[in-house]
Structures are given as structure tokens and as C-alpha cells.
């Protein structure tokens, strides 16, 4: 499988009938809604199609969509029958997945949940594994990197290298980046839905998902996505619910630093002792 840039160079720009385009069962754009399509259709009707969609020409003369679902649906909405497309032929499944994920992610950023799902699926297709097997293996690598697992087997290391080489073909993503965002797969369904509807960024989703009480989490999610509270208020509320707003005992850091007391200079030791004496008088007054 070649890099994305090498694959696209082999395509040809053509006008294709919208009625001959097949949308595959698997597609990484799960956040396409009617309002978005209507707005895009209005924009296309005013300024025209600014970028072609990507298609693969099949042996029977039909075309399978690789990238451009939103634009294609906008054409359906406008009842336009011809669409500009870059047409590719003789693609393997890995190449189609690579194009679909990379093109859509670069043209309009996917929400992090759909991006992670798409990249996991791409790695699964690239290595002839199931999505679940890849997810479990990525969790294993994360466990190893964080010190929870001492060693990886030779087979594990080989698979890790294969995954790293596959994801680098996107010219954008790294395996470490994907692993760092795996937690999104375990987010509460309501949080994921808000991300897919572009109402919630990943950083705020992470915060909300830390709330154990579902009712409180959903209340904050509703308030934030309806713009009834600000980002700062959301952060403060999450900290309060999780008990992170309690004042930190200043003596913890002092006690930790004092472990090096014997290594201090005499001048520094005397200064510290004077401050301790002042603090003692203040506390016992």
C-alpha cells in the first residue's frame, strides 16, 4: 500500500452521474445531519462545487464513494445529476480506507470519537485483524508504555511495527496519538453523541466523563452544550463535583522538599530554621 499522496496522483478528474454512485456500508462520516447538508447545498448552489469528491470505478461501470459524502448528499438535495470527481481504479481495501479517513479528516476535522473508530478500523483492515483485536492490542501497548506491563512478546513488537508503518501512510497521524485518545471509546454515549454533533470538543468531553454521577454529568453536559454556562464555569463545576476544588495542604510540598535539608548550605538551613520558628509562633499564638 502506497502513501496517500502517491495514490491520489493516479486519479483522473471527471464528471460523474450521481445516480451511478454507490455509498459503501462502512463510512467514517457518522456526524452528517440534514441541517449541515442543507447549508452545504445552499453554499454549492451559490459558489459551485469547490473540490471534487473521490470515487473508485468498479468493473460494472458503477462508482463507489471513497470521500465526499456530505458533498454528494448536497447534490442529491439540489437534484443535480453531475458531480466533479477524482476517479481511481483498482484500489485495495487498505488504500480506500486510507483515502477515506485522511481526506475527510483533512477537509473538515472529524470529531475525535469517529476519528479514533476510523483509524482503528483502518489498522484492522491493514493487518487483517478485527477492530476489537486492534483495540485490545492498542490498550496493551498503552499498558506497556505506562509501566503496567513489563515486556512485549516478539509477535507483539512485530504487530506494533506494522501498525506504526500503516498509520504513517496517512501522512498525518501517529500511533501514539491514536493510543492517547483511545479513552474516547469508553466515554458515556451522551458525551459521544454531543461530540458527533459538534457540540463538545475532546478536552471538555474528557472532563465531563470524569464525573461518576450520571445525573450530574448529564446536567452539566446539557447546560454547556446549550451555552448556559461558560468553559470556565464548566471546569469549576467539574472540579467541585469531583472534590478537586478543596484547598491543597501546603505542608505536603514543604515536607517533600525538606527531605533534601541535609544537602542545603548552612546559610539556607539557617534561613529555613528562622522561617520555621516564625511559623511555629504563628500557629501556637
How many other CB atoms are there within 10 angstroms of residue 125's CB atom?
22
| Cell triple for 279 | 511559623
CATH architecture classification, 4-92? Alpha-Beta Complex (3.90)
Distances (CA, A) of 26 to 22, 64, 157, 160: 12, 12, 29, 25
Q: Where are the domains of the chain?
A: 4-92, 112-183, 187-241, 251-284
**CB 94, CB 102: distance < 8 Å:** no
Cell digits for 118?
476510523
Per-residue pLDDT of the chain (285 residues; tens, 9 = 90+): 566 667 778 889 999 999 999 988 655 455 566 888 898 899 999 999 988 999 999 888 889 998 888 899 999 999 999 999 999 988 877 777 777 776 655 555 578 998 898 889 888 888 889 999 999 999 999 999 988 888 999 999 999 999 999 888 777 789 999 999 999 999 999 999 999 888 999 999 999 999 999 999 999 999 999 999 999 999 999 988 988 766 666 677 778 777 888 888 888 888 888 888 888 888 887
pTM of the model as a whole? 0.63
Amino acid at each position: 500500500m502506497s502513501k496517500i499522496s502517491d495514490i491520489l496522483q493516479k486519479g483522473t478528474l471527471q464528471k460523474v452521474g450521481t445516480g451511478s454512485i454507490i455509498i459503501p456500508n462502512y463510512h467514517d462520516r457518522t456526524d452528517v445531519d440534514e441541517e449541515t447538508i442543507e447549508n452545504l447545498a445552499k453554499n454549492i448552489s451559490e459558489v459551485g462545487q469547490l473540490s471534487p469528491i473521490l470515487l473508485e470505478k468498479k468493473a460494472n461501470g458503477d462508482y463507489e464513494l471513497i470521500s465526499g459524502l456530505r458533498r454528494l448528499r448536497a447534490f442529491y438535495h439540489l437534484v443535480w445529476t453531475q458531480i466533479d470527481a477524482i476517479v481511481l481504479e483498482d484500489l485495495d481495501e487498505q488504500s480506500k480506507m486510507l483515502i477515506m479517513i485522511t481526506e475527510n479528516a483533512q477537509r473538515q476535522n472529524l470529531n475525535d470519537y469517529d476519528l479514533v473508530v476510523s483509524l482503528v478500523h483502518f489498522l484492522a483492515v491493514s493487518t487483517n485483524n478485527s477492530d476489537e483485536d486492534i483495540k485490545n492490542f492498542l490498550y496493551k501497548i498503552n499498558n506497556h508504555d505506562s509501566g503496567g506491563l513489563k515486556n512485549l512478546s516478539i509477535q507483539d513488537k512485530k504487530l506494533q511495527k506494522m501498525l506504526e508503518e500503516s498509520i504513517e501512510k496517512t501522512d498525518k497521524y501517529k500511533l501514539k496519538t491514536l493510543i492517547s485518545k483511545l479513552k474516547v471509546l469508553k466515554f458515556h454515549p451522551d458525551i459521544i453523541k454531543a461530540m458527533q454533533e459538534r457540540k463538545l470538543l475532546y478536552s471538555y468531553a474528557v472532563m465531563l466523563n470524569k464525573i461518576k454521577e450520571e445525573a450530574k454529568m448529564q446536567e452539566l453536559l446539557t447546560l454547556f452544550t446549550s451555552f448556559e454556562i461558560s468553559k470556565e464555569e464548566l471546569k469549576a463545576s467539574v472540579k467541585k463535583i469531583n472534590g478537586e476544588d478543596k484547598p491543597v495542604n501546603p505542608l505536603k510540598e514543604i515536607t517533600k522538599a525538606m527531605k533534601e535539608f541535609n544537602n542545603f548550605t548552612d546559610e539556607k538551613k539557617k534561613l529555613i530554621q528562622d522561617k520555621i520558628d516564625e511559623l511555629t509562633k504563628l500557629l501556637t499564638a
